[in-house]
Each structure stands twice: as C-alpha cells, then as structure tokens.
C-alpha cells in the first residue's frame, strides 16, 4: 500500500483506493461497480446511497457514494432505497388530502433522523411538522433541492415517508397552478407565441418574473 492509497471495506470486503477519489470511483477501479447503484455520478440522481462506519470511532451515517471521498478505515454498506408506490397529486391540496394520501403523516416522533440523513441539507423534520400544519407553500420550498435519494424514508423508523409527501405537495401545487392558469389566463395561446417568437434575453427575463410572482404579467 503506497501513501497515496487507503484501505476501505465494502460490505466486509477490503479494497485499496486512491486517497481523495470518490467511493464510486474506488468501486469502479476495484471492479465492484455492481455493488452500488450509479446514475449521474454527480450528486443529482440520488441512486448511489450508502451508509458508512469509521474505524476511529467517528459516527457514520448516510451518504451519496458519488460525492463522498474515500478515507482510510472507512466501512461502506450499500443501501439501495427501493422506489415507493407513487400517489397521484390533487389540485388545490388541503391537509385532509395529504392525510388521506399519507396516513403516516402524524406518526412522526420528531427524532430528527431524516434531517441528519439528508445529503442536501434539507430541514426534513421541520418540513414534516409544516406538513402537519398544512403549510404547503413552505414545504414546496423546502423540497426544491430534493434529489429523491430516499434516505429520509430509509432512516425513518416510523415509516413517515417525508420526501414522498414533499414530492406529492410540489406536484399538487404545480397541478393547481396549471389549472389556475388555464382557468384565468385567456392569453395562454398568446403567451406560447411570445415564448416562441421573442429573443432569448427577453424570454429569460419573463421566466424570472414568472418565478418571482408565480403569475404571467400582461
């Protein structure tokens, strides 16, 4: 083993890895690509979930293997998070709709594990508490950067499914906005024409304005 090489364990099997490379690259180099699911290799798709343990007594946790550099003595346990059954969104969602779609909502014991597990630093537990109060706009904001790795669901002993609810809320609000635009904006056709005809700078300006106000200004 050279000073640029470290020893790590994958599901109990010892491999050599180059110091500083990511776990995914170490696995590829060791001919163990199959041991962890991989998609984007850039921290976007959430496929490469693992749990880690350290030999020096540090507390381990959940990580994305494509973003985590190897460290000497690291033990890696792949934890592929299976997809959950998708629940259809509801236009103009209310708390009762969410409770019906996800009866697990009120099981949260405020343990905080979901927040600790989230590789995107989303305040998942706080967002679950906001869901319980029906604060859906705030929840939609919370989950803007969610990559749907599923780790918050994976670690939740109470099977609360935070990110599935976050996604459902975002989809439901999006659906409501689509319907509101269809109902109230008689100029939808004109807006399409605008988007197709105007130059890029004007379109970007218009998109920014829409993101800020949520409305298409005349």
Point out which residues bind ligand SF4 (CB under 6 A): 46, 108-114, 117-120, 122, 124-125, 128, 146-152, 155-156, 158, 160, 162-163
CB of 64 to ligand SF4, least distance (A): 9
Give the pair of three-digit tokens for residue 149.
Answer: 């790795």
**Site mask, ligand FES, residues 66-85, x = CB under 6 A?**
x-------------------
CB of 9 to ligand SF4, least distance (A): 24
CA–CA separation, 186 vs 39, rounded Å?
A: 42
Of the pair 9, 37, the CB lying nearest ligand FES is at 37
* Residue 115 · residue 124 · CB < 8 Å: yes
User: Residue 139: which of 156, 121, 122 has the closest Cα?
Assistant: 122
Partner from ligand FES, ligand SF4, none binding residue 160, C-beta < 5-8 Å depending on class:
ligand SF4
162, two tokens: 């935070």
> Residue 91 has what DSSP assignment?
S
Regarding 43 and contact with ligand FES (CB under 6 A), the answer is: yes
Question: Helices in the chain by DSSP H: which ranges?
Answer: 23-29, 95-101, 113-117, 124-132, 136-142, 151-155, 162-184, 188-197, 200-213
Question: Minimum CB separation from ligand SF4 for residue 174, in Å?
Answer: 17
Q: Which residue has the tokens 């659906």?
A: 175
Residue 26 binds ligand FES, judged by CB under 6 A? no
The encoded tokens of residue 35 equal 């041991």
> Of 33 and 40, which has the nearer Cβ to ligand FES?
40
Count of residues engaged in binding ligand FES, rule: CB under 6 A = 12
Which stretch, 39-47, 78-86, 96-104, 205-213, contacts ligand FES (CB under 6 A)? 39-47
Inter-residue contact 111 to 136 (CB < 8 Å): no
Residue of closest CB approach to ligand FES: 66
Whole-number minimum distance, CB 46 to ligand SF4, in Å? 6
Instruction: Find out whether 58 and 42 touch, Cβ atoms under 8 Å.
Output: no
Which residues of this chain interact with ligand FES, rule CB under 6 A?
A: 38-41, 43-48, 64, 66
């Amino acid at each position: 083993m050279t000073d640029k090489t470290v020893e790590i364990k994958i599901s109990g099997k010892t491999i050599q890895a180059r110091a500083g490379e990511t776990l995914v690259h170490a696995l590829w180099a060791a001919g163990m690509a199959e041991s962890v699911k991989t998609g984007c290799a850039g921290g976007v798709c959430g496929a490469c979930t693992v749990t880690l343990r350290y030999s020096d007594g540090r507390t381990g946790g959940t990580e994305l293997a494509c973003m985590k550099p190897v460290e000497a003595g690291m033990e890696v346990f792949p934890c592929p998070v299976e997809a959950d059954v998708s629940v259809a969104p509801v236009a103009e969602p209310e708390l009762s709709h969410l409770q019906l779609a996800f009866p697990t909502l009120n099981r949260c014991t405020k343990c905080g594990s979901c927040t600790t597990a989230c590789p995107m630093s989303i305040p998942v537990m706080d967002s679950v508490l906001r869901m319980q109060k029906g604060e859906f706009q705030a929840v939609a904001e919370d989950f803007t950067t969610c990559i749907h790795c599923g780790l918050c669901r994976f670690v939740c002993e109470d099977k609360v499914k935070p990110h599935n609810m976050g996604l459902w809320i975002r989809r439901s609000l999006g659906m409501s906005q689509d319907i509101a635009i269809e109902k109230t904006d008689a100029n939808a056709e004109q807006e399409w024409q605008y988007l197709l005809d105007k130059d890029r700078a004007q379109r970007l300006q218009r998109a920014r304005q829409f993101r800020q106000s949520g409305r298409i200004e005349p």
